[in-house]
Amino acid sequence: MLKPKEEPIRTCIGCFKKSPQTELIRIVRLPNKEVVLDRSTLPGSDEKGPRPAGRSVYLCQDLACFTKAAKGHKNKNAFQGRLHVPVNTEMLENLRTQIFDKK
């Protein structure tokens, strides 16, 4: 008898809590160094199709986790440290708006 496939576990870069991948929001650095939100991971998303490929980080669906990740530690925020791209305030604000501002 086959064992049911286990869901991947990922770690939030804000609070470091481990959760199933489907409960977290994915942010991706594309090969061209552009940082984008994987919209298929947003709550209530019905987007289908291929997911963006590239280095990714995961966040809880909580503004506090986003804020902690953006603030970072020792002058290096979690996005910059894990995605290896320069991070600016405009990029962080754009991501925050896409994730947490309901339209």
pLDDT digits (tens, 9 = 90+) for 41-74: 888 777 777 888 888 999 999 999 888 888 876 5
Q: Are 39 and 48 in contact (CB under 8 A)?
A: no
pLDDT digits (tens, 9 = 90+) for 1-51: 667 788 899 999 989 999 999 899 999 988 888 888 888 888 877 777 788
pLDDT of 24 reads 93
Q: In this structure, which CATH number among 3.90.550.10, 3.30.565.10, 3.90.780.10, 3.30.1230.10 belongs to the domain 9-100?
A: 3.30.1230.10
- Helix, strand, coil percent content, the chain, rounded in steps of 5: 30, 20, 45
Token digits for 57? Answer: 């980080």
Whole-model pTM: value is: 0.81
